[in-house]
Structure 1
């Protein structure tokens, strides 16, 4: 016998939890509406409403002057008889967890937190009407903030929503959501929204990314298809902003510091050999961590080609936290049991996730750590040889053109050259050891080594003229002081020596040159 006497109620605060307090970054609402539109485009293609995916369009219009935002698709629309059931009911989506991108039935309400009114307009092909359902966001916030009353969630929803039916062309099919009276500036910034969606939304790689065809070809060879849709922001097509060049600085000070030279592709399989995910990352010289100005930095997780979390989500899989910021890359989730959580910042905890994390750690932790450390070691060893070559040029310029201040300065140069040569010999040996660690031509370390090691000289053959021709007369700075007598030149040589000690090399050379100009 059932002895319960109290009827279960769901309070109004649940609406706050899934709308007003759901997301940290307001721009996430764009992602929510895009994934809903993408699901409906899938259905529209399956049902023949759209001929193919190229005909599907998701259009975002941002009107900052009128503080309005709209997201519209030309997919299935919603039948008028189902509008209230679909757009008023919460967490009662009929979508499939293992197939659809959005399936919980809460994302469509995300915009409520950031506007005065949230308006849904939709028409279903074959119906001569358009349904308009409006959520009064201001009224909703007032009711939730009124702590003197304890309304139920369903009661509140009925109080803040309104449905209108108007005439429409029977061939029309679309769904449009409009945020009126937007109260968040980032939602109204075309630049901010484009930057965010360029890495989050399921779109094509930008046309100038030279590796895009290679990615498509590799995925095709693996029988993997990634979802891509035509998305426009204020009539400009949205694309993923991957680049081959790596920059630092901003504005006029922006400069190229590195470059992606090839891609490494990798599967993530479980112990049975089943494919859980497939990914790629870029190989560069790994000069330094990729600066934040490069929007695409980091290896990104994608499910249905929509980003999961942020560029930092995979940090925990790296040996060092900074490791993720040495790479551009993507991991496409293929296992149906890897299900995004409600916030879409990671996955639902289950056995599939545990398996995935174990295998992903194997792919990322040690292999990628070894790559950028290998690059660092190659660069360090190669630099020792480059420094010797550079100093050799400086010595010869001093010996043949500028002249040494005195014998002491010349002896210091010779001593420094010998020290640098000793280090260069060590660097040469280290490069040979590092080269022996390269497995084969397909090993990413091979490309790194080729890109960094530009010095092709045997260190033992790098010599200065004083070693090769000891009888050659050495030039001194005072040799050009034709106006001075021999004793005066000797004195000036001592003065030059003091200048070398007191001033930095650049300042010392400038001052000595000024003095030489006076006494030539």
Structure 2
């Protein structure tokens, strides 16, 4: 009989340190744990809490972070001890309802602190359940030269302490608290960075701001297509008492196209039955796509259950790693800088990878990748044809612009007035120079020091040359020619 299981301490390091190398990720992990615990309580029959929120408090002077939710906590002391000590065991069976499901994010702060404490308060109980993981002992264990093999029980026992004590609050109080004490310089650096709050706003499963009235259109579309409530994945999260909201606003992030949609459906079944509805994509762009001034929210942000996957450039990254060539990586990222939007995904067939950078590689994630590549082809084509049309508003270019627009957007479903796309409203003075610089498809990258007249001529010639090589099926030859001309100019 096997009496004990021995594991290498390096496995514990992999579960904690290796999966969470970027310390900002710990905020995502603890917020999603609070959100999932509250949702599970509701599914178990507990009443909704009107003012449910998750509050992040940072005490810089004492290097302490406290993340508290006012949910129902863990129902029994026995369950609390089991959940706090076990690793990679989760009772979230229905993955479509819960953000996390692996049971390992709870330890994401371990590599970055002296101690990690969990405090549980149940309604109707005068007791606090507490569990403390000793971060200093954890690091000493990983850095020691001792024999690598120990029983898992012995490893956990050496760094974990479970206890209970009397609560000094009201008996009907209920909450769950994560306390990260003595956080590391890596966390301090993240917190002190100028864009810390913006990064949290982008990463976490937040509500839309009241300043983004277009969000009602997005929520209604999601609810109608997905037959579920988007707001079930949008939470009130506060940073030092200030509610964090998605960064979108009508004034900055609704462009000339208004909000338009793609409906995202998964791969069809073996008998050609319709694929699963996996989400919607909303986006907005200008008639003549140019790079926008906002550096934080550009592109299509992919969200699984409203939590960020990847980066602003994920769509371009997927294209770069594809055998199907659309354009250079820089031009694809420039195209993304001309749009704002989100792909809102919830699918039982798409499983987030361990780092939540993307989905696990399988037929379903590959199919989604193909949809994204198709979108990028359409976006690049529209950007290309729009630039050509607005440089020469001839009838043929007008026709090609319309075809590119129809390829990018379902004009009937989205109530698009095609004729409105043939004219550009005059830009305000503050954006005039930026618009002019960014309107070139090739010249900004290829001949940045040349005059505006030469840049315009260069772009017009490159567009014609690209069309020729595309018709001949020799796009690689166009890239070689372009590289040669670029070198000659510089």
Q: Is the 8 A contact 1:58 1:73 kept in 2?
A: yes
Q: Normalised by the size of structure 2, how large is the TM-score?
A: 0.73
CA drift of 1:339 comes to 1.1
Q: Is the 8 A contact 1:278 1:334 kept in 2?
A: no
CA drift of 1:151 comes to 4.7
Deviates more, 1:351-360 or 1:112-121: 351-360
Deviates more, 1:216-225 or 1:138-147: 216-225
Q: Normalised by the size of structure 1, how large is the TM-score?
A: 0.69
CA drift of 1:49 comes to 3.5
Distance in 2 separating the partners of 1:213 and 1:349: 33
Deviates more, 1:201-210 or 1:104-113: 201-210
Equivalent in the alignment of 1:283: 285
Q: Could you list the per-position Cα deviations for residues 73-121 of structure 1 after superposition, in whole angstroms to 9, with x for gaps in the alignment? A: 1112122112221111111122226232111111010011111111111
2:113 corresponds to 1:115? yes
Distance in 2 separating the partners of 1:325 and 1:307: 18
Equivalent in the alignment of 2:440: none
CA drift of 1:295 comes to 1.4
Equivalent in the alignment of 1:301: 302
Q: Secondary structure at the match of 1:10?
A: strand
> Residues 115 and 336 from structure 1, CA distance in 2 versus in 1: closer, same or farther, beyond 3 angstroms?
same
Distance in 1 separating the partners of 2:68 and 2:256: 36
5+ residue gaps in structure 2? 320-325, 428-490
Structure of greater Rg: 1
> Residues 186 and 242 from structure 1, CA distance in 2 versus in 1: closer, same or farther, beyond 3 angstroms?
farther
CA drift of 1:67 comes to 1.0
Q: Is the 8 A contact 1:122 1:174 kept in 2?
A: yes
Q: Could you list the per-position Cα deviations for residues 289-333 of structure 1 after superposition, in whole angstroms to 9, with x for gaps in the alignment? A: 345x43111211111111122222222445343233332111121
Equivalent in the alignment of 1:180: 181
Distance in 1 separating the partners of 2:78 and 2:399: 73
Q: Is the 8 A contact 1:68 1:178 kept in 2?
A: yes
Equivalent in the alignment of 2:487: none
Q: Within 5 Å, which residues of 2 pair with 1:78-93?
A: 78=74, 79-93=76-90
Equivalent in the alignment of 1:229: 235
Deviates more, 1:27-36 or 1:149-158: 149-158
5+ residue gaps in structure 1? 248-257, 382-426, 456-520
Q: Is the 8 A contact 1:244 1:261 kept in 2?
A: no
Distance in 1 separating the partners of 2:345 and 2:356: 13
Equivalent in the alignment of 2:202: 199
Equivalent in the alignment of 2:380: 369
Q: Within 5 Å, which residues of 2 pair with 1:59-458?
A: 59-78=55-74, 79-96=76-93, 98=95, 99-152=97-150, 153-168=152-167, 169-183=170-184, 184-189=187-192, 192-222=195-225, 223-226=227-230, 227-244=233-250, 259-269=255-265, 270-271=267-268, 272-274=273-275, 275-291=277-293, 293-318=294-319, 319-320=326-327, 321=329, 322=333, 323-362=335-374, 364-381=375-392, 427-429=393-395, 432-434=398-400, 437=403, 446=418, 449-452=421-424
Distance in 2 separating the partners of 1:117 and 1:37: 20
Alignment length, in residue pairs?
Answer: 394
2:41 corresponds to 1:36? no
Q: Secondary structure at the match of 2:172?
A: coil
CA drift of 1:187 comes to 4.5
RMSD (CA atoms): 2.9
Q: Is the 8 A contact 1:305 1:332 kept in 2?
A: yes
